[in-house]
Amino acid sequence: GRMGQTVCAAVEGAPDMMLTGRADPALDTSLAQVLGDADVVVDFTTPATAQANALECLAAGVHVVIGTTGFDPEPLAAAAAASAGNVLIAPNFAIGAVLMMRFAAVAAPYFESAEIIELHHPNKVDAPSGTSRRTAELIAEAREQAGCGPMPDATTTALEGARGSDVHGVHVHGIRLRGLVAHQEVLLGTEGETLTLRHDSLDRSSFVPGVLTGLRAIADRPGLTIGLEHVLDLP
């Protein structure tokens, strides 16, 4: 796929890395064919295959960096604990997106309301996006820790889906539109003011610095790590 091609080119251009193989059904190559020479596998596949791919990597003692969302990561924690391989799952590898999530969590307790709009290309198979789900989780955690009450919402009747998905009390609205890549807005509001945080990935190259950061850090992150923020030097 396009993201796989972008990652392969980035690894080939990195002076401290070597590309040992590519796995893609379209290329008639399987994961098993490339595992023997790899220290780390990068997975940008689909929710239906990512978990099985990661378990295969861990069984071979190979680290795995995953940019696919929409699957249950819990089995990977046990598999990583029983193997020599580590796992990093990042809902978003764009540094700006990670900062947006952090800023949203910092701001959330200061506003009565918070909602998320995620916008992606129409070929994306999961909704809402992993980034928006993770952002909603961080907002909800920050509000709970601050002792915030439920968000105001007087809606009693609505068409199905009109208020989006409820993720830990935060409404998330998904848009799929030709011409988009990956975009997200976090809308926060209270009496008399609003704050909007927006991140736009205009090209898949925006994910490359985060992927390379994850590749360099994974060997020192035992077990399962969820979120690129854990390997960045954030305050």
Active site residues: 120, 124
Type of residue found at 100: M
**Exposed, middle or buried, 96 (CB in 10 Å: 0-12/13-18/19+)?**
middle
Rounded to whole angstroms, the Cα distance separating 170 from 125 reads 21
The number of residues making up the chain comes to 235
CB atoms within 10 A of CB 134: 22
* Residue 28: HSE in the Cβ half-sphere, 13 Å Cα cutoff: 0
Q: How many Å apart are CA 85 and CA 69, to the nearest integer?
A: 20
